[in-house]
Amino acid sequence: MATTYLEAIRAAQAKALQDDERVFIYGQDVGAFGGAFKATKGLAAAHPGRVMDSPISEDASIGLAIGASIEGLRPIVEMQFADFSSVAFSQIVNQAATQFYRTGVPCPMVVRLPSGGTPGGGPFHSQCMEAIYAHYPGLVVMTPATVEDAYHLLLAAVELEDPVIYCEHKFLYNHLKAERLPEKSDLPPNKARVARRGRDATVVTYSAMLHEALTAAGDLSREGWEIEVVDLRVVKPIDTETILESVSRTGRMLAVGESAPWGGVTAEVVARVAADGFRFLDAPPRRLACKDTPVPYHPNLWAAHRPNAAEIARVLREVLRF
Amino acid sequence: MRIPITMPQLGESMAEATIVSLGIKPGQTVRADQDIIEVETNKAVFQVTSSCDGEITEVLVERGGTYGVGAVLGYIEATESEIEKRGLGRAAEAAATASAETPSVPLRAEDGADAMHGGPDLNPPVWATGQYASSTAALHVDKRLPAAAPVVPTRGAGHGGGFLSPRLRARLSEAGLTENDLSAIGGTGTNGRVTSDDLERYLFALAANDVSPAMPMRLSVADAMRRSWSRPLATVGRLVKLDALLAHRAAAVDPKPGPALYAVRALALALTDDRQSAARLIGNKLVVPKSIDIGCAVEVDEGIMVPVLRKVDGKPLAELIAPYRALVEAARKRTLTPADFAGSIASVTNYGPFELEWATPIPLPDESLILGLGATRKHPEWDAEIEDWMPINAAQLTLSFDHRVIDGGRAGRLLAKVVSLLEAPDQL
Amino acid sequence: MVELAPSPVVQSAEIPLKPESKRENFVRAYRWMLLARTLDEKLAALYKAGGKISGGVFLGTGQEALSTALGVALRKGDVFAPLIRDLAGRLAFGEPVLDATRTYLGSRLGPMRGRDGNIHRGRIAEGQMAMISHLGAMISTTAGVLLARRMRGQTGTVGAISIGDGATSTGSTHEGLNTAAVEHLPLVAVIANNQYAYSTPTSRQFACEDLLDRAKGYGYEGHSVDGTDLEACLEVLQRAVDRAREGHGPQMVVARLLRLTGHGLHDDASYVDPKLKASPVGADCLRLAEKTLLERRWAEAKDLASWKAECVKEVDEAAAQAMRDPAPDPKLEDWSALNEPEMLDLGLATRG
């Protein structure tokens, strides 16, 4: 029986609730209803009093989680959509992210952000927020791209003694399936994964774009190019070592993300490759992001707004021909 | 709507132009393509034309003033339909922005040196796109810079031909190769670019040959030759009669000066009259040592050394013998210090001992002249008195020079002076 | 299976002390007020001497009665999230004077180690929350501590948060107050309506007639008090804290008083309406408390003088100690904002 990305997130939370008395879940409609995407389906019944509906108060929900973590609990806060975490932005970046540095008291908590576009989602139900949070010291930002990582990274996030922004991609929720969930992750949470081996160029990506990149790599292999694909898994901290190791073999790099083009994770990857991997480069490191507009509503516009396999392949051909 | 009159880019190297005459004044009606302002660059005088029909509303420049490419020289008021017809919408927008954001005085180039900022500009001419008007007029630019400065030229295809990627450079360095070594490789990349894979294949193929390490002296000479060869070098030559010199030498007491030392002394004296012919061109300056010190090429194991004999113009030949011998000795024993090599104005090489009659020696990288002396041979010379050919002793004398610094005529005159001194060695 | 460890926040098994007597209670509170006023004066003097305190100094002048009353009504094991003008309440709740001087003077040995300063200090493990500047943020955080305690079956403690009239306008305050009520938590929200938020008068802050009306809207039990009157403050705050502790849900106290200082020492508060200063709301709670002490013969002038002398001595020693302390040393910092070393971004750390 195959497990979806969404089921993996639910299973990870069920396991965390089961294994760790400190864990509780707080968020809008997460209780008996099971969450807007059913990521907490059945958990409230299985763990009475530990899966609670919150008022529509993202700021207070995070503040509450910070307080509970001070008390030794391990809150998981579900933002109904990543977009709404901007209401809680101040609590996340000003309090959760600074607390350990300021006071020496750690702030272990997980904020789940259902992220990224789906056709028809529109400007306020499609955002990717990983770059914003990664910019702030004191936060760990996870961006799982696979069913296995969705499961194991969420469990790792609960274990971490620091606040974790866990960006789960809505497009992958039901599209992505795995045969089974492995007992253990093959990688620690701070390591990127080489998702496909290649020799001609490296694509560094994360979250849903991994699958577009893998498709592009498959297409290019029919043209005789072997593209290596690195899945960051966690964008902060970023595994510079794995990126540079790959670029040292391929000499060419394209960073792909679904977020807005100004700054962000792809810019960080390019900056690090340029600064620390200059001597490896045969071509300028490139990046590909979504268009610099809000995420559009109509499926036609939405599909053109974000990078896709064809676009990645097109830019890769430029990189390869440079 | 207002349309700016901007300084056009005419020719790739143009950075600015000076107003020669103004054919317009406010209130005047102009037609599209009408010559309105005459300007002069360092290459030509040309007319700035009106981009549309309209009325001149402002003239922002004065005769004699120098203005950068893209500077707004004035404004034309044109009707919407005229703007539409001429496709000047963006220029009109730029004019609106410019009036809101930039001082009304156009940016002026302060002096000629600033023109260097202009550089080669591969952008399309201003009228093709209107880009200049919008890109320069909308920027707040330091008034001390010419208007052209902020417009960074867009390179064309930067990835072909001679482009070496950072990776290729790093790999070259790792393999102990220089850029020169790449000339042996036919590139398979875009526009013939040598790719990292090309280099790897080349290195692999090289391994099939006999490969042995070159000695440091060889590498040092090789590097000096590579640097010397970066200039356009030319060589002139002529015969020098040596009977007088040989007689002079035979009459000298031991230790006798060798032919090379005669040449050293002759070159030094010739240069006292025209030191500038030995100048080096560095940037836009001519650089020449204050003292006439001459380098003397000495063959040693595995290479060549060129120690320097000091103040050769101030010492008669007899006084040069001892220091010259000391230098040659030190070169062969490898006891020369870096100070013994520095600061010569020109050098002399004597390839006669190798039975070579003629050669094209290469000046040292930090010199621009080298005098070469060939082997002495019997030459027939027409004796007008007895009306017959008579044998004389003579050799070929060559002078190699940096053609950027001097030309053939001046090199020939310098060589003639050396010849006349060698043919009358009492002057030495 | 990870089981719940004991709460890391210091708990107390103490039975609440019955206030000794009205007099003892009043005197005790007065002396906390006096210590706070003395410490504020010292911090002001150090600031004006220049070069010793970086940043600003933010005084609680005029708010000591209200703040102290909250501090003494709380017990060890409770949670207190003070705001800018709560020096008196912090001291009464157990913050050492040295924490204040060390944080203001940037000692490496203070609770914030030079990483944060002035009023942004606390000892979370002792229930003293370390305020951030964003008004209202600490309300939900305090509520979170209380929620966690309830989840682990622990009752009997309360949480108190302190805000001013300015903070009542923020979304964070609204969300926090509402969420605490929805969760029916033992939270005491004390609003010091001190008439100005920096320079903004209350007329530009809210349009309701009385902030206390909001208690009903949020589902709080409401209490109103004259913030210049120590006796009233002691009574009302004790009642509010007791009600919360007894399970009657969140409590809101709205106190009317006047900030008798600028927003910080850099602000001369010239915008304050002189009529307000001259009105009863502009009275100095410390002077009024002294008047009460003398009138009721609960203390004599010489007692006041000797208590003041004790305060001056304690404050001077704490200031001197903080000045002698080592300053933070950039070379000794680990420059890490994360607690888990394996999650540190080494690529960034090595480049600084």
Closest chain C residue to the Cα of A272, Cα to Cα: C347
> Are residues B303 and B224 part of one domain?
yes
Say if B45 falls within a structural domain. Answer: yes
Residues of chain B found within 8 Å of residue A282, distances taken between Cβ atoms = 165-168, 195-196
pLDDT (0 to 100) of residue B217: 83
> Are residues A264 and A121 part of one domain?
no
> Are residues B233 and B92 part of one domain?
no
**CB pair distance less than 8 Å for B167 and A279:** yes
> Are residues A246 and A210 part of one domain?
yes
> Are residues B81 and B187 part of one domain?
no
| Most confident range, picked from B215-219, B302-306, B311-315, C16-20 | B311-315
> Are residues A311 and A225 part of one domain?
yes
Tell me how far apart the alpha carbons of residues B60 and B106 are, in angstroms, rounded to a whole number: 7
> Are residues B324 and B183 part of one domain?
no
pLDDT (0 to 100) of residue C351: 44
Q: Is C75 in a helix, a strand, or coil?
A: coil
**For residue B278, what is the DSSP state?**
G
**CB pair distance less than 8 Å for C145 and A67:** yes
> Are residues A237 and A156 part of one domain?
no
CA geometry: angle B316, B319, B323, nearest 5 deg: 130
E strands, chain A, in order: 3-4, 23-27, 51-53, 74-78, 109-115, 140-142, 163-169, 177-178, 193-196, 201-205, 227-231, 234-236, 253-256, 286-288
> Are residues B117 and B102 part of one domain?
yes
**CB pair distance less than 8 Å for A279 and B165:** no
> Are residues A119 and A203 part of one domain?
no
Say if A65 falls within a structural domain. Answer: yes
> In the block, which residue shows the tokens 């356009």?
B232
Domains parsed from chain C with CATH numbers: 22-351 (3.40.50.970)
Does the pLDDT at position C16 exceed 60?
no
Residues of chain A found within 8 Å of residue C124, distances taken between Cβ atoms = 70, 99, 103, 105
pLDDT (0 to 100) of residue B98: 56
* E strand or H helix at B350: strand B346-350
Tell me how far apart the alpha carbons of residues B341 and B364 are, in angstroms, rounded to a whole number: 11
Choose one of B182, B212, B242: the last residue of a domain: B212
Which residues span the domain enclosing B336?
Answer: 218-427
Q: A272, A221 in Cβ contact below 8 A?
A: no
> Are residues B334 and B254 part of one domain?
yes
Of residues A170 and B14, the one with the higher pLDDT is A170
Say if A156 falls within a structural domain. Answer: yes
Tell me how far apart the alpha carbons of residues C52 and C325 are, in angstroms, rounded to a whole number: 12
pLDDT digits (tens, 9 = 90+) for A182-207: 889 999 999 999 999 999 999 999 99
- Say yes or no: C146 contacts chain A, CB-CB below 8 A: yes
pLDDT digits (tens, 9 = 90+) for C217-249: 999 999 999 999 999 999 999 999 999 999 999
- Outline where B252-340 has alpha helix (H): 259-273, 317-333
Closest chain C residue to the Cα of A269, Cα to Cα: C347
How large is the average pLDDT for residues C84-104?
97
> Are residues B326 and B226 part of one domain?
yes
* Number of domains, chain B: 3
CA distances to C68, C234, C301 from C308, rounded to whole Å, are 17, 21, 11
What percent of chain B clears pLDDT 70, i.e. is strictly above it? Answer: 80
Q: In what order do the strands lie in the sheet with B54-59?
A: B2-6, B72-77, B54-59, B29-30
Choose one of A150, A178, A206: the last residue of a domain: A178
Q: B175, B198 in Cβ contact below 8 A?
A: no
Say if B151 falls within a structural domain. Answer: no
Residue C226 pairs in a beta bridge with C256
Say if A184 falls within a structural domain. Answer: no
pLDDT (0 to 100) of residue B102: 40
* E strand or H helix at C81: strand C79-81
Choose one of B196, B212, B228: the last residue of a domain: B212
Of residues B117 and B13, the one with the higher pLDDT is B13
> Are residues A91 and A229 part of one domain?
no
- Outline where chain C has alpha helix (H): 22-49, 64-73, 87-93, 97-105, 137-151, 171-182, 213-218, 230-245, 274-278, 285-295, 301-324, 346-351
* Number of domains, chain A: 2
Does the pLDDT at position C137 exceed 60?
yes
Sign of CA dihedral B65, B70, B71, B75: positive
Does the pLDDT at position C183 exceed 50?
yes
Asked if chain B contacts chain A via 3 or more Cβ pairs within 8 Å, the reply is yes
The CATH number of the domain holding residue B341 is 3.30.559.10
- What is the DSSP track for C16-41? PPPPS-HHHHHHHHHHHHHHHHHHHH
Q: Which of A47, A125, A152, A211 is catalytic?
A: A125
pLDDT (0 to 100) of residue C23: 94
| A125 is an active site residue | yes
pLDDT (0 to 100) of residue C19: 53
> In the block, which residue shows the tokens 């005419």?
B10
pLDDT (0 to 100) of residue A70: 97
Does the pLDDT at position B246 exceed 90?
yes
- Say yes or no: C124 contacts chain A, CB-CB below 8 A: yes
**For residue C128, what is the DSSP state?**
B
> Are residues B223 and B185 part of one domain?
no
Which residues span the domain enclosing A221?
Answer: 193-321
- Say yes or no: C337 contacts chain A, CB-CB below 8 A: yes
Choose one of B147, B177, B212: the last residue of a domain: B212
The set of chains that have 3 or more CB pairs under 8 A with C is A
pLDDT (0 to 100) of residue B135: 34
Say if B316 falls within a structural domain. Answer: yes
Q: Is C316 in a helix, a strand, or coil?
A: helix
pLDDT (0 to 100) of residue C51: 77
How large is the average pLDDT for residues C268-275?
93
Low-confidence ranges of chain A (pLDDT < 50): none
> Are residues B333 and B184 part of one domain?
no
**CB pair distance less than 8 Å for B170 and A282:** no
Alpha carbon of B199: minimum distance to chain A alpha carbons (Å) = 12
> Are residues A52 and A88 part of one domain?
yes
Say if B20 falls within a structural domain. Answer: yes
> Are residues A298 and A221 part of one domain?
yes
> Are residues A163 and A34 part of one domain?
yes
Say if A183 falls within a structural domain. Answer: no
Say if A274 falls within a structural domain. Answer: yes
Tell me how far apart the alpha carbons of residues C140 and C145 are, in angstroms, rounded to a whole number: 9
> Are residues B187 and B117 part of one domain?
no
What percent of chain C clears pLDDT 90, i.e. is strictly above it? Answer: 84
Across the interface, of C7, C151, C337, the residue whose CB is closest to A24 is C151
Closest chain A residue to the Cα of C182, Cα to Cα: A55
Residues of chain C found within 8 Å of residue A60, distances taken between Cβ atoms = 139-140, 143, 172, 175-176, 178-179
> Are residues B194 and B224 part of one domain?
no
Task: Write out the two tokens for B85.
Answer: 């017809």
The CATH number of the domain holding residue B59 is 2.40.50.100
> Are residues A65 and A30 part of one domain?
yes
Residue B390 pairs in a beta bridge with B381
pLDDT digits (tens, 9 = 90+) for C68-90: 999 999 999 999 999 999 999 99
**CB pair distance less than 8 Å for A282 and B168:** yes
What value does the CA radius of gyration of chain A take, rounded to a whole number of Å? 19
Say if B83 falls within a structural domain. Answer: yes
> Are residues A275 and A198 part of one domain?
yes
Q: Which of residues 209-268 of C touch A (CB under 8 A)?
A: none
> Are residues A174 and A25 part of one domain?
yes
> Are residues B345 and B313 part of one domain?
yes
pLDDT (0 to 100) of residue B2: 86
The CATH number of the domain holding residue B178 is 4.10.320
Say if A40 falls within a structural domain. Answer: yes
pLDDT digits (tens, 9 = 90+) for B176-234: 888 888 888 988 887 788 989 999 999 999 999 999 988 888 888 888 898 999 999 99
pLDDT (0 to 100) of residue B136: 34
Does the pLDDT at position C155 exceed 80?
yes
pLDDT digits (tens, 9 = 90+) for C38-49: 999 999 998 888
Choose one of A151, A178, A205: the last residue of a domain: A178
The set of chains that have 3 or more CB pairs under 8 A with A is B, C
